[in-house]
Amino acid sequence: MITLDDVRKWDENDELNEYKSEFFLKEDSIYMDGNSLGLLSRRSESALQQSLNDWKEHGIEGWTQADEPWYYMSEKLGRMTAPLLGASPEQVINTGSITTNLHQLLATFYNPEKGRTKIIGDELNFPSDIYAVKSQMALHHLDPEEHFIQIASADGYTLKEEDIIAQMKDDVALLLLPSVLYRSGQLLDMKALTHEAHKHGILVLFDLAHSIGAVPHQLDEWEVDFAVWCTYKYLNSGPGGTGGLYVNRRHLGTHPGLAGWFSSDKEKQFDMDHELTPSSSAGAFQIGTPHILSSAPLLGSLEMLLEAGIEGIRKKSLALTQLFMDLVHQELKGFGFTLRNPVEKERRGGHVCLVHEEAASLCKALKSEGVIPDYRSPNVIRLAPVAFHTSYEDVFNVVRILKEIMQKEKHKSFKNERDIIA
């Protein structure tokens, strides 16, 4: 039996507890949606304000004279991100968005020829990744019905690695999968999948949206070919924050499929030559001018992540999601809830997937009680206890509030349908 005294003792011994004051948290509110949009930290606010001040003070000279020169900011953020990925810095760049970066990597490295035309994906992935694959296939005049293999889920929430591996054949050019499934929070075995794919000569591309900043990675050691991610979830860069991409060093030097001015070698960029000399690093896969004000907050948030250490963040994240699961079993029996995230630590990402037939109305009721969850159609309540600013007592209180909602049927006063933005 887990009690309030128990969770308060755990909070007293929490090594990350000091970071809670770094974030702008609303009083009488518990934020459980950091896997959709991370919160603003004081350090990110300061970093953004510094870039605004540099613009105010320096104008165009901010590209080289700013406190953090804008011309080199994308590369600096890549170097700061690299330790979270287990990658060497030259393979990482802060740029674009998940979808534009997917288009860049597919346009560069998906070359359907000599019998290798197929891409393996899955039926549970976020729609934007699927749109990118299908549109790239259309550019090659290929029918996705024939050339895009989407691995089916046996339960509608998780994938089996063996089902993915079974589709790895010599007519497959590329494997594109999420590291963590956005609904259920299942963490795939990236190392094993990469190893098996490479046996068949298949390139491997992971979407790390729901793992970066919450789960340690070893992309170099696993020999992953490519990765993309957003930064506004566990990296706390802010709405629409600039994304990132990773290109393994063995692929560096490849001419970008979607070339642009910032694909250039930085020493030659202002020569204004009409023949591109690409950067020798992952910077070659940038396209347009960096989005400075959407990148600057990362200077503050990444500083905290590196300071705290991704291993410590993962340790607390696992403890918080375990507490959630234990409390659901302890307090919510008989109310129609089902946990659909994996229970094993090595298969669990950073959020809990709680399924209920009235999930939409329950999310609205939770918000009315000061808890900010996330709804995903058709029946998923996602709850993300972010290690930086979620206490064990917060988790205890969320389950307590949810139990009270069910006991008093408070959710019945809300329509069980999503709003425009779920």
Annotated binding site: 98-99, 126-129, 207, 210, 232, 261, 289
CA distance 55 to 105: 32
CA distance 285 to 296: 20
**Alpha carbon of 375 to those of 26, 35, 380: distances in Å?**
20, 12, 6
C-alpha closest to that of 123 among 158, 85, 81: 158
Beta partners for residue 92, in sequence order: 246
Q: 156: phi > 0 → left, psi -120 to 50 → alpha, else beta; which?
A: left
CA distance 221 to 226: 13
Question: E strand or H helix at 353, and its extent?
Answer: strand 352-355
Which two tokens mark 386? 């972010």
Reduced to 3 states (helix: H, G, I; strand: E, B; else coil), residue 352 is strand
CB-based contact 89:77 (threshold 8 Å): no
CB-neighbour burial class of residue 227 (10 A; exposed 0-12, middle 13-18, buried 19+)? buried
CA distance 127 to 107: 19
CA distance 134 to 140: 10
Q: Are strands 338-339 and 352-355 parallel, antiparallel or unpaired?
A: antiparallel
Per the annotation, binding residues for pyridoxal 5'-phosphate are 98-99, 126-129, 207, 210, 232, 261, 289
3-state secondary structure 265-283: CCCCHHHCCCCCCECCCHH
CB-based contact 79:92 (threshold 8 Å): yes
C-alpha closest to that of 314 among 340, 346, 341: 346
